[in-house]
Amino acid sequence: MNTPFSFPAPAGPFYRLAEEANALAIVDQLSARQVQLLSLLAMTYGDAGDVFRRMNPTLQDNYLWACSMLAQEVGDLFEALRAAERTS
């Protein structure tokens, strides 16, 4: 499987799944990225969000950019999983 990932480099694919990546490996990575994103976003609202809102605006932008990249990777992984399931 040679699925291109677009999340880190809008100008074109940068990362690719390894040929030997199977659906289980994709699900593992998808689960890990989803939990990481949820953990990062938990720091942006409620009581924890107070700390986030006191951060330098540039750091807030960079933090949310990282969240956005993780969300895009989750989408790319989901599409790769769908493709893997179609071919199996």
Residues 44-64 pLDDT 10s:
999 999 999 999 999 999 999
Structural domain boundaries in the chain: 22-87
Higher pLDDT, 2 or 20: 20
Q: Decide if pLDDT at 10 tops 70.
A: no
pLDDT on residue 5: 62
pLDDT on residue 8: 54
Q: Decide if pLDDT at 82 tops 90.
A: yes
- 17 and 3 Cβ atoms separated by less than 8 Å: yes
Distance CA 48, CA 41 (A): 10
Cβ partners under 8 Å of residue 16, min gap 6 = 2, 3, 4, 5
3-state class (DSSP) for residue 72:
helix
Higher pLDDT, 6 or 36: 36
What's the chain's average pLDDT? 87
Distance CA 10, CA 72 (A): 11
